Amino acid sequence: MLIINCPWCGARPEIEFRYGGEAHVARPADPAAMSDQEWADFLYNRTNPKGLHAERWRHIHGCGRYFNAVRDTVSDFFVTTYKAGEPRPDIGESGQ
Amino acid sequence: MVETTATAEPLAHYPLDALAAGTRAIGAARLTALGPVSRLAFRGREAAIQAAGEAFGVALPREANRRNTANGRHALWLGPDEWILLAPGADPAPLFAAIETATTGLPHSLVDVSARSVTLEVAGSKAAYVLNQGNPLDLSLDAFPVGTSTRTLFHKAEIVLSRITPDTFHVDVWRSFAPYVWEMLEDARRELA
Amino acid sequence: MTNRFRTHSGGRIDRGAPVSFRFDGKTYSGFKGDTLASALIANGVHLVGRSFKYHRPRGFLSAGSDEPNALVNVARDAARMSPNLRATQVELYEGLKATSQNRWPSLGFDAGAANDFVSPFLPAGFYYKTFMWPAGAWKRFYEPKIRAMAGLGVAPTLPDPDRYTQNYAYCDVLVVGSGPAGLAAALAAAESGATVWLVDEQPELGGSLLAERTATIEGKPAQQWLSDTLATLAAKDNVTLLPRTTAFAYFPHNMIALAERVTEHLAAPGADLPRERLWQLRAREVVLATGALERPLVFPDNDRPGVLLADSARTYLNRYGAKPGDRAVIFTACDAGYRTALDLAAGGVAVVAVADLRREVHGELPARALAAGIDVRPATVVTGTTGRLRVSGARLAKIKGGPSVDPVGASETLACDTVLMSGGFTPSVHLFSQSRGKLVWDAASGAYLPGSSVERERSAGACRGITGLQRVLEDGYGQGEAAARASRDASSPARGATPPPGASSKSFPAQADDLGTDGFIGATPHARNPAFTKAFVDWQNDVTAKDITLATREGFRSIEHVKRYTTTGMATDQGKTSNMNTLGIVAEALGESVPKIGLTTFRPPFTPTTFGLFAGAARGDQFDPVRKTAIHDWAAEHGAAFEDVSLWKRAWYFPKALPDGRREDLHAAVARECKAVRSSVGMFDASTLGKIEVVGPDAAEFMNRMYTNAWAKLEPGRLRYGVMLREDGFVMDDGVVGRLSSDRFHVTTTTGGAPRVLAHMEDYLQTEWPELDVWLTSTTEQWAVIAVQGPKAREVLAPLIEGIDLAKEAFPHMSVREGTILGVPTRLFSVSFTGELGFEVNVPAHYGRAVWEAIFAAGQPFGITPYGTETMHVLRAEKGYIIVGQETDGTQVPDDVNLGWAVGKAKKDFVGKRSLARASMSAPDRKQLVGLRTTDPKVVLEEGAQIVADPKAPVPVPMLGFVTSSYYSAVLGHSIALAVIKGGRARIGTRLSVPMPDRVIEVEIVEPVFYDPKGERLNG
Ligand SMILES: [Zn+2]
């Protein structure tokens, strides 16, 4: 079980959290203005990188907050976590 | 946390009534179902937080997973904009009205959740050991000092866990999960009999 | 034959505490402190099992958890029965009953041993080669036969009555292994003030020190130093000592799974103690001091009972006072053989000869053996053993040239009753490897050693290739100090940097034999006909050196493939004794170096683990929470049958007692309940509905964005049926929503959907629209909900309610009012899921039962009828009301299920709106919700049944849709069904077919509202 650093509560065990998919995929401000293809990209297409991945987690059995994390999909270790709304930290594309 | 008796509520039924009547006395981890209290869920913007605390009589803690206590009332930090307010007495209406009045026009949400959960107490030298059979947090006094309250898990049930004294914990759990949590706690402390 | 092989004195057994036990029905005696293995050896019993494939007689190979042969069944009673326990780890208790496995009819005579004689036909990969033809024979013939013949123990058939518990725990430093390195590490970490856990799989802490006879540490005999050190550690508050505890899995972020055997060693364990305890221990730093495992030598007939690992024989002798035999031949590739020889000689066992694979023998231990008059033969191999159920002799032959390839000379057979072998030691890197640390080949010692770490972990002592007691102690102490230091530094990196040996701040002067790093990997040479010899590499899976070389000849080059083809290393011992020799044989066969061949992966668990340990308390009624409403007990007292809906128990129907003493069945009860609701009044526990209170100045705006409906104009005091979509446009949930005031909504969700809907709302609120001043609070459990439905509903409730005018004009359908009932605050909804006049009484859950009982009493003059979920389903289906999850499966847009009316077309945006605009979402051939009538009104369709136009069409018959709900309507006198059918609405009035296995049912497509299509009854 991983230890995840909630930006609000600090280090807590993984079972208190729920994964929320890729981070920084904002809902378009005007969906009606988008083509079907653009909308499908927003709905379904994700980067799925090998290496550092910015993703959403929710401390659902804790403070309830959604937040973002950068995790290395190769090692499964978290590099950093940060509050929702903050920009992705500048730590490159691939880890370890 | 809040000590009251159940006698004042003739129409009420609580989910642990039957289980609590048949519990074993185990000194190292005593298990008790506590009586009814008023529970209010308060959420809101900065402007409303202080007003709510003043009306409640306990400042809402701004530090994560902390609990403030005064005059038998408790304010528990559950999230950065979320608190549970606990007060003695089974009728939350006067308290609800007082806080609503004080926060009129300030962006907030106040919801009566008095009946949503029940509280049980685990106390004794092995209380933390018993809780750690279903709770994954580090319950050492350094990591989880007196005055800590947090939402977390006990086995497959979500709970709010509070440390009242070094050897006394309160577990607030939604009422339909309460028998499950109770039975799991009974199972956990059985080896201490 | 009572303890004939027991030494006169010495060992750690309690000779004042004799213990009697049974093995295969025969009674033996041993002592407290014995294992089953040591007690049997003391009684001269070596034949303890039959091998997996050839059913060859097998004895003890080792004295520890690496044992591949001596698997036994230990049974306290018919239910408390554990197969596949290693006799080397089973602690003796009074009355213990053990039986051998994998033999029929008896251990001495085993019919399956015929496999041994046909073994030329059972080569490596024989499963793959032999059982392929004829088609179908595998299931009918081969598999059942193989299962009967092979396999390991037999699983118990009764439920396990024992308890198992699970604990989470935290510490600064976990030390795995309590040999000299682990003890020193624990000591160092404990002295620094860190919280330290020291765990060891054995019943006593001390590891190799428990078998030390002559060594000294800090001027004390090793065993004295051990007991002093353990006393020092035990006296410290910050130290937890856990014997009988196996660190069996290393999970990310230093979570180590520990299996503690709590009562396994007790003759009469109390009912309150768990049998085993699973510790999920989170350590800031881990010190692995897991030691090294002795390697067998791979020579012909090396599996005969009486052939043991040399250092294990020494353990039996020194630790348990059990002699492995009277006359020993020792076959060694390192100095361990001499250490055992010297101890055996001192213990009264005749050492016939030491055959040393090495060409030249020098050093202190061989010199001492020679001085003791032991027949030491360098450059000599054992090329076979004699005997049937026990070794009776060993064939020794001189190596002419190098140790591995050259032919050997003529052999000489020496009489003996035990052959003890040592191929050197393999560092135990299982947990290090599980932690994803990189192993590095060390050519000097011929071993894989821990390289760079991934976790905050470090290895100490023999498991990282360090030899010599003093060096091991000092390495352990140094690693313990470093681990404690690192544990105080929260910022220290995830990877622990392993300090070099000798970094200890404390010295441990010790006198002991240093065995060095000599050893041998592979199969030893012999000149015998390979067709008739078996030199075992993997004892448990019966894999021989010949099988491995055959695999390489057949083209398998990757060690992972050789492993799977031959099954070497795949038994329950995971190749603890076999992995390195397999590598050696493959390397030699392919002419490659060992590191070129690689290494198979170490996976958890380190040793087999019980299912009970993983289940813990989560079994039976406690497997999942069983959620009950405030009214549940009343329903149970009134005979309700219940059904599971997510975690909830819901009253399914209320069967009445019949005059003849039986109770109504489901159909009779549901027919009666339905008629009561339609003709008078019924009551229903709807408490499980999810509820969310949406509060704040922006509540209406938020509702507008989350639901398809328009909310801005909904007046306080009114209800509206809301539909929620996912962003992909498909129906996610539905429910009635009440607006209590301008900034407060009482939202209901489906029973199963409550947590999902709340998380969905929180997601949008927190991450997309954090600027909205609105908050969500789950109130599912705050409110008990009592639905009172039927033409008499108002008359029943009116006398009970205070503060609300129930008159039709004052309180129209789809309204909400706040008042009291029995003096208890209520939110009263005028709402119907039945098509009748109806109300839902929300009261704080603690009062749910009292209010329910009051309504039940008040309804008696009207024959008020409690009804369950089945009746609720029939009543709503008669009205064509959908249930999300029954009429929908995550691929329906609102219009598909006739909810197009609930979509606010004028709204600029809401979750899912853009997806609805895609052309395919309004295609005319989408599956649409319709009703079905069967030609025969008595026939009730099966839910899920497929619907086709022409059942005689060639296969595959085009499927047009399927039945989603189907009931018999007692009120209407015919069956009704809902279905989703391609272009269904345009097919209304036509006929289709529902093919079933025994017949084809003809159906007419109809409007989905079967009852009161104009909705006139809703307003009473
Ligand atoms: Zn948190």
Q: Which domain holds residue B186?
A: 3-190
Helices C180-191 + C469-487 axis angle, to 10: 40
Each residue of C747-757: pLDDT tens digit? 999 999 999 99
Each residue of C524-534: pLDDT tens digit? 999 888 888 99
Check if the beta carbon of residue C352 is closer than 8 Å to that of residue C327. Answer: yes
State in Å: Cα A6 to ligand 1 middle: 5
Q: Which CATH number fits domain C296-423: 3.90.1150.10, 1.10.4160.10, 3.50.50.60, 3.40.50.800?
A: 3.50.50.60
The number of beta carbons lying within 10 Å of the beta carbon of residue C495 is 15
- At a CB cut-off of 8 Å and minimum separation 6, what does C142 contact? C130, C131
- The domain locations on chain C are 1-157, 164-292+427-511, 296-423, 524-599, 630-682, 923-1006
Each residue of C407-429: pLDDT tens digit? 678 889 999 999 999 999 999 99
pLDDT in the model for residue C18 = 97
Q: Which residue has the higher pLDDT, C632 or A91?
A: C632
Residues shown for chain A: 96
* C97 burial via Cβ count (<10 Å: 0-12, 13-18, 19+): middle
Q: How far apart are CA C990 and CA C1005, in angstroms?
A: 6
Identity of the residue numbered C237 = D
Q: Which segments of C105-157 does DSSP mark as H helices, in order? A: 114-117, 126-130, 137, 143-149
Each residue of C60-93: pLDDT tens digit? 999 999 999 999 999 999 999 999 999 999 999 9
Model confidence at A95, pLDDT cuts 50, 70, 90, reads very low
Complex-level ipTM: 0.96
Backbone angles phi, psi at C716, to 5 degrees: -55, 140
Check if the beta carbon of residue C40 is closer than 8 Å to that of residue C23. Answer: yes
State in Å: Cα C238 to ligand 1 middle: 30
State in Å: Cα C491 to ligand 1 middle: 20
In angstroms, the Cα distances linking A71 to A2, A60, A79, A96, C897 are 11, 19, 5, 11, 41
Q: What is the CATH number of the domain that holds B136?
A: 3.30.1360.120
Q: How far apart are CA C162 and CA C263, in angstroms?
A: 10
Element at C788 (helix H, strand E): strand C783-789
- Asked whether the whole model's pTM tops 0.90, one would answer yes
Residue C333 in tokens: 């590739």
- Identify which of A2, A34, A84 has the shortest CB distance to residue C767: A84
What SS3 state is found at C563? Answer: helix
Check if the beta carbon of residue C171 is closer than 8 Å to that of residue C189. Answer: no
Check if the beta carbon of residue C754 is closer than 8 Å to that of residue C780. Answer: yes
Put simply, whether C170 touches B (Cβ < 8 Å) is yes
Evaluate if residue C402 carries a pLDDT over 80.
no
Check if the beta carbon of residue C878 is closer than 8 Å to that of residue C817. Answer: no
Identity of the residue numbered C746 = H
Q: C152-181: buried (b, 16+ CB within 10 Å) or exposed (e) per residue?
A: bbeebeeebebbbbbbbbbbbbbbbbbbbb
Please report the number of interchain residue pairs, chain A to chain B, with beta-carbon separation below 8 angstroms: 36
What SS3 state is found at C549? Answer: helix
State in Å: Cα A10 to ligand 1 middle: 7
The shortest C-alpha distance from C909 to chain A (Å) reads 8
Check if the beta carbon of residue C257 is closer than 8 Å to that of residue C265. Answer: no
Which of left, alpha, beta for A84 (phi over 0: left; psi -120 to 50: alpha)? beta
Angle at C632 between CA C626 and CA C635, to 5 degrees: 135
pLDDT in the model for residue C28 = 97
pLDDT in the model for residue B5 = 44
Put simply, whether C166 touches A (Cβ < 8 Å) is no
Whose CA is closest to B78, among B38, B130, B47, B39?
B39
Q: How far apart are CA C972 and CA B125, in angstroms?
A: 65
Put simply, whether C284 touches B (Cβ < 8 Å) is no
Site from C263, C626, C846, C855 to mutate, B interface, most B CB atoms within 10 angstroms: C846
Which of left, alpha, beta for C924 (phi over 0: left; psi -120 to 50: alpha)? alpha
Q: From chain A, pick out residues whose CB is under 8 angstroms from the CB of B136.
A: 1, 13, 15-16
Put simply, whether B145 touches A (Cβ < 8 Å) is no
Helices B93-102 + B46-56 axis angle, to 10: 140
Check if the beta carbon of residue C759 is closer than 8 Å to that of residue C734. Answer: no
The shortest C-alpha distance from C434 to chain A (Å) reads 13
Site from A16, A39, A72, A74 to mutate, C interface, most C CB atoms within 10 angstroms: A39
Check if the beta carbon of residue C610 is closer than 8 Å to that of residue C825. Answer: no
In angstroms, the Cα distances linking B176 to B154, B161, C455, C631, C782 are 14, 17, 40, 11, 10
Looking only at the bridges linking them, the beta strands covering C327-332 and C418-422 are parallel
For B157-165, the CB contacts below 8 A with 24+ separation are: B157/B181, B157/B184, B157/C625, B158/A61, B159/B135, B160/B76, B160/B78, B160/B84, B160/B117, B161/B131, B161/B135, B161/B137, B162/B1, B162/B67, B162/B76, B163/B139, B164/B1, B164/B121, B165/B123
Evaluate if residue C263 carries a pLDDT over 50.
yes
Q: From chain C, pick out residues whose CB is under 8 angstroms from the CB of A45.
A: none
Each residue of C158-175: pLDDT tens digit? 999 999 999 999 999 999
Place of tokens 């448990």: C540
Q: Which segments of C905-987 does DSSP mark as H helices, in order? A: 913-916
CA end-to-end distance (rounded Å), chain C: 94
pLDDT in the model for residue C410 = 82
pLDDT in the model for residue C502 = 52
Q: How far apart are CA C734 and CA C381, in angstroms?
A: 80
Residue C607 in tokens: 């040793």
Residues 39-78 of A with CB under 8 A from B: 61-65
Helices C559-566 + C579-590 axis angle, to 10: 110
The shortest C-alpha distance from B136 to chain A (Å) reads 7
Q: What is the DSSP string of C482-520?
A: HHHHHHT-TTS-SSPPPPPTT--SS---EE----TT---
Q: Which CATH superfamily is domain C164-292+427-511 in?
A: FAD/NAD(P)-binding domain (3.50.50.60)
Backbone angles phi, psi at C376, to 5 degrees: -100, 125
pLDDT in the model for residue C493 = 45
Query: Does the bond joining C608 to the residue before it have cis omega, within 30 degrees of 0?
Result: no
Question: What is the DSSP secondary structure assignment for residue B155, as one 8-state letter?
Answer: T
Please tell me the least confidently modeled range out of C398-402, C626-630, C740-744, C948-952: C398-402
Residue C929 in tokens: 């919700």
Check if the beta carbon of residue C438 is closer than 8 Å to that of residue C348. Answer: no
pLDDT in the model for residue C92 = 97
Q: B62-76: buried (b, 16+ CB within 10 Å) or exposed (e) per residue?
A: eebbbbbbeebbbbb
> Do the two domains C164-292+427-511 and C296-423 of this chain adopt the same fold?
yes
The partner residues of C273 in beta bridges, in order of sequence, read none
Model confidence at B155, pLDDT cuts 50, 70, 90, reads very high
Check if the beta carbon of residue C618 is closer than 8 Å to that of residue C626. Answer: no
Assign domain C1-157 to its CATH architecture.
Roll (3.10)
The number of beta carbons lying within 10 Å of the beta carbon of residue C860 is 9
Q: Which CATH superfamily is domain C923-1006 in?
A: Aminomethyltransferase beta-barrel domains (2.40.30.110)
Chain mean pLDDT for chain C:
93
pLDDT in the model for residue C591 = 94
pLDDT in the model for residue B116 = 98
Q: How far apart are CA A12 and CA C909, in angstroms?
A: 37
Residue A73 in tokens: 């999909």
In angstroms, the Cα distances linking C644 to C187, C408, C534, C624, C688 are 54, 74, 58, 12, 11
- The domain locations on chain A are 3-25+38-83
Identity of the residue numbered C340 = T
Residues 65-84 of B with CB under 8 A from A: 65, 78-80, 82
Model confidence at C499, pLDDT cuts 50, 70, 90, reads low
Assign domain C524-599 to its CATH architecture.
Orthogonal Bundle (1.10)
Contact: B82, A10; criterion CB under 8 Å: no
Check if the beta carbon of residue C40 is closer than 8 Å to that of residue C350. Answer: no
Whose CA is closest to C760, among A46, A60, B158?
A60
- Give the mean pLDDT of C278-283: 98
The CA radius of gyration of chain C, in Å to the nearest whole number, is 38
Evaluate if residue A96 carries a pLDDT over 60.
no
Q: Which segments of B60-174 does DSSP mark as H helices, in order? A: 93-102, 127-131
Contact: C759, A27; criterion CB under 8 Å: no
Q: Which CATH number fits domain A3-25+38-83: 3.30.2270.10, 3.90.580.10, 3.40.50.920, 3.40.50.150?
A: 3.30.2270.10
Q: CA-CA-CA-CA torsion for C527, C531, C533, C534, nearest 10 degrees?
A: 130
- At a CB cut-off of 8 Å and minimum separation 6, what does B181 contact? B120, B134, B154, B155, B157, B159, B171, B173, C625
Each residue of C11-26: pLDDT tens digit? 999 999 999 999 999 9
Q: How many domains does chain B have?
A: 1
